[in-house]
């Protein structure tokens, strides 16, 4: 009998979250789907198709031996950087950012792919090459190129995830302390520079601290997000019964879906989602006990889940 190498409990929780996301995207997008596409199930259907594609991709990827990802990590990172270059120069613009490539069937976001390929590149570097000066210079050069492309889109969130994940790994293995200090310093400097030269980011921070000071302007989204949570209470109004998704909240099926979950399923729903993500975190730590390359390939995903979770918990409500 062939031995199973996949984590069944992790797969189960992931599938539950996937089904849950399909339901909530369908519920939160009814109004915007009907208004924009004249089909109130448009985003629901689209999400179902994407989920099926993702499941098929997951099955295919899971059958590829880990040594092959390790072998082709260089080609994968070059391919990802090439896609970033193409998206920066030939991509479509949406909400003031040029992050997507239209390939007719679907819009591809290379910055999501770079998260995966960069983790492979980083894991190979940390597993055996961090002591080599040339490899360190190459790593810094690759990170510089990626940073330049991401900032020009702009996509500061993805860049922050990549940098923080890298620093997390350096800190965890206790190597290259100098790089950790320099990396933290550069990240802090870049953060303040990005805020200084982009006034809209200053407004987002001030709105985050006190959204009610300008609740009809820059604080509008956060105020309605909090109203959504207040309406939901502990157990919510029920799936499909949200009021704030009816033009009050922008992008209720993406950026503010947590608020809609809070309104329809209450704090109970949000707590269940959070517990599920913590479960994935601990399962990831179990995978962390595997071989060196596998361990470093998985570890960046553990903090990245919580970076994004914290981002959506703070910025969007």
Residue 147 lies in a domain: yes
Number of domains in the chain: 1
Q: CA-CA distance, 18 to 16, in Å (whole number)?
A: 5
Q: Which of 186, 162, 175 is nearest to 129 (CA)?
A: 175
What the block records as the tokens of 195 is 């805020």
Q: What's the CA angle centered on 115, arms 112 and 119, to 5 degrees? A: 160
Residue 253 lies in a domain: no
Q: Are 203 and 218 in contact (CB under 8 A)?
A: yes
Residue 172 lies in a domain: yes
Q: CA-CA distance, 212 to 295, in Å (whole number)?
A: 45
Residue 280 lies in a domain: no
The pLDDT score that the predictor gives to residue 89 is 79
Residue 11 lies in a domain: no
The pLDDT score that the predictor gives to residue 2 is 47
Residue 167 lies in a domain: yes
Residue 109 lies in a domain: yes
The pLDDT score that the predictor gives to residue 19 is 92
The pLDDT score that the predictor gives to residue 142 is 82
Q: How many CA atoms lie within 13 A of 98 on its CB side?
A: 14
Structural domain boundaries enclosing 112: 72-197
Q: Which of 110, 211, 23 is nearest to 101 (CA)?
A: 110
The pLDDT score that the predictor gives to residue 74 is 80
Residue 90 lies in a domain: yes
Q: Is residue 228 exposed (0-12), middle (13-18) or buried (19+ Cβ within 10 Å)?
A: buried
pTM of the model: 0.76
Low-confidence ranges of the chain (pLDDT < 50): 1-2, 316-317
């Amino acid at each position: 009998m062939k031995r199973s190498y996949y984590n069944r409990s992790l797969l189960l929780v992931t599938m539950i979250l996937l089904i849950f996301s399909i339901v909530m995207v369908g519920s939160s997008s009814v109004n915007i789907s009907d208004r924009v596409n004249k089909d109130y199930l448009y985003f629901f259907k689209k999400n179902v198709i994407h989920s099926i594609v993702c499941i098929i991709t997951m099955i295919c990827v899971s059958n590829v031996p880990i040594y092959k990802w390790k072998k082709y990590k260089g080609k994968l990172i070059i391919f990802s950087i090439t896609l970033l270059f193409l998206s920066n120069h030939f991509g479509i613009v949406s909400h003031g950012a040029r992050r997507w490539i239209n390939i007719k069937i679907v819009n591809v976001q290379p910055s999501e792919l770079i998260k995966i390929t960069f983790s492979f590149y980083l894991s190979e570097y940390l597993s055996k090459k961090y002591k080599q000066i040339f490899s360190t210079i190459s790593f810094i050069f690759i990170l510089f190129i990626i940073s330049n492309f991401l900032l020009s889109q702009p996509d500061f969130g993805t860049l922050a995830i990549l940098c923080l994940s890298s620093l997390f790994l350096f800190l965890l293995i206790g190597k290259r302390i100098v790089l950790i200090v320099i990396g933290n310093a550069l990240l802090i400097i870049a953060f303040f520079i990005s805020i200084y030269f982009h006034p809209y980011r200053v407004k987002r921070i001030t709105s985050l601290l006190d959204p009610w000071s300008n609740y009809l302007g820059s604080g509008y989204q956060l105020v309605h997000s909090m109203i959504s949570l207040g309406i939901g209470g502990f157990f919510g109004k029920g799936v499909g019964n949200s009021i704030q998704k009816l033009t009050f909240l922008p992008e209720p099926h993406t950026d503010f879906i947590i608020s809609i979950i809070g309104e329809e399923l209450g704090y109970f729903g949000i707590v269940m989602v959070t517990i599920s993500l913590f479960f994935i975190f601990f399962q990831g730590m179990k995978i962390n006990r595997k071989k060196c390359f596998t361990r470093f390939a998985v570890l960046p995903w553990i903090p990245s889940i919580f970076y994004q979770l914290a981002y959506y918990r703070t910025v969007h409500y």
